[in-house]
Amino acid sequence: MTMETSTWMSRLDSSTKLNGIVMPGSHDAGMSQLSHCDGGAKLNCGIIKTQALNILQQLEAGSRYFDIRVDYDHWELVTYHRSGDAGCNGQSLAAVLDQSLQFIRSHRSETFILKFSHIRTNRKNEREIKDRIDEFLADVKYRDYLFTSPKRDVNLANIALDDCRGKMILVFDYPEHTGARAGRFRYHDGFGYCGPNITVCDSYSNTTSLEKMKRDQLAKLEAYGGLDKDCFFLLSWTLTPDTDTFFKSSIEKLAEVANAALEEVLAEHISQPGQPKPNIIYIDYLNVKTALSIIQCNF
């Protein structure tokens, strides 16, 4: 199938609900560039960098769900990937939102979810970071491009694509400064219970073994996945670095293994009639080829 990944949602019927779509997702989406690295990250940045493409390029490649982890560091809001102090900053939040805005202004058939989560906690200034995010997102330039709802407890799973085309959907894994009318939707992790406004069944495998990850994620997909449900299911197709990775490998090399195996898994386990499909497939080092193999599950 020949398809333009930047506009693939234009091929979907406008009555399609968000829970009826299979989307590529970007894990640690802001980490295509690194700065202010500390600890062991200075010795092997490959265990920190998770993407080759910036947010705009990921959008153009077809990603529609973004893992945005936020810190306030060196006097700006940034994405980050750290364990304690060890790790690096990624793209600034200003770059993430401005690239998102640039994309949605020129691709009005599309929509995508920015998930704000993992606010840095080890410096005990979480509330300051959340307040700064709220102030930043209040900029009037974003207002017309945010999906909003008059219904406080709206379930985003049941929103029709026609209602959110040309809009960014912002979701937050914390309660402060959220509200559907302002376009700040509350995110929940969950298996079984679907709360307002968005609940995602998301549980990664925490292994460097492709076979262990494959078995774990496909079992969870079988148990909890399927389109048209009140909760989204996220297939976490990522391999997690360990101590051995620090000395001998990188997230990029792990992603090459995982992403290469995904197309076969999609063909054998997900695209077959009667098999449950995930709403989101999370990957590191998102690229056009892998994203297209995910997108094709919709057609």
Kindly report, residue by residue over 92-135, the tens digit of the pLDDT: 999 999 999 999 999 999 999 999 999 999 999 999 999 999 99
Q: What is the pLDDT of residues 38-72, one digit of tens each?
A: 988 888 899 999 999 999 999 999 999 999 999 99
Crossing angle of the two packed helices 210-224 and 251-265, in degrees rounded to 10 = 50
Identity of the amino acid at 159:
I
**23 against 249, higher pLDDT:** 23
**pLDDT recorded at residue 244:** 86
Residue 14 CA to residue 121 CA, distance in Å, equals 40
Q: Could you give the angle at the alpha carbon of 31 between the alpha carbons of 30 and 32, nearest 5°? A: 100
Residue 262 CA to residue 198 CA, distance in Å, equals 26
Residues 6+ apart with CB under 8 A from 75: none
Q: What is the pTM of this model?
A: 0.97
Helix (H) or strand (E) holding 235: strand 232-236
Q: Which two tokens stand for residue 10?
A: 């234009």
Residue 112: HSE in the Cβ half-sphere, 13 Å Cα cutoff: 34
**pLDDT recorded at residue 42:** 83
Res. 194: pLDDT tops 60: yes
**pLDDT recorded at residue 272:** 80
Q: Per-residue confidence at 90, pLDDT binned at 50, 70, 90? A: very high
Identity of the amino acid at 213:
M
Q: What is the pLDDT of residues 148-181, one digit of tens each?
A: 999 999 999 999 999 999 999 999 999 999 999 9
Mean pLDDT (the chain, rounded): 95
Locate all alpha helices (DSSP H) within 71-159, ordered by sequence: 93-106, 126-137, 140-143
Res. 1: pLDDT tops 60: no
Residue 296 CA to residue 299 CA, distance in Å, equals 5
What distance separates the 2 farthest-apart alpha carbons in the chain? 52
Q: Per-residue confidence at 247, pLDDT binned at 50, 70, 90? A: confident
Res. 286: pLDDT tops 80: yes
**pLDDT recorded at residue 101:** 98
Residue 62 CA to residue 5 CA, distance in Å, equals 5
Residue 81 CA to residue 65 CA, distance in Å, equals 18
SS3 128: helix
Residue 141: HSE in the Cβ half-sphere, 13 Å Cα cutoff: 10
Res. 192: pLDDT tops 90: no
Res. 268: pLDDT tops 60: yes
Percent of the chain scoring above 90 in pLDDT? 88
| Domain with residues 5-298, CATH architecture | Alpha-Beta Barrel (3.20)
Q: What is the pLDDT of residues 215-246, one digit of tens each?
A: 999 999 999 999 999 999 999 999 999 988 88
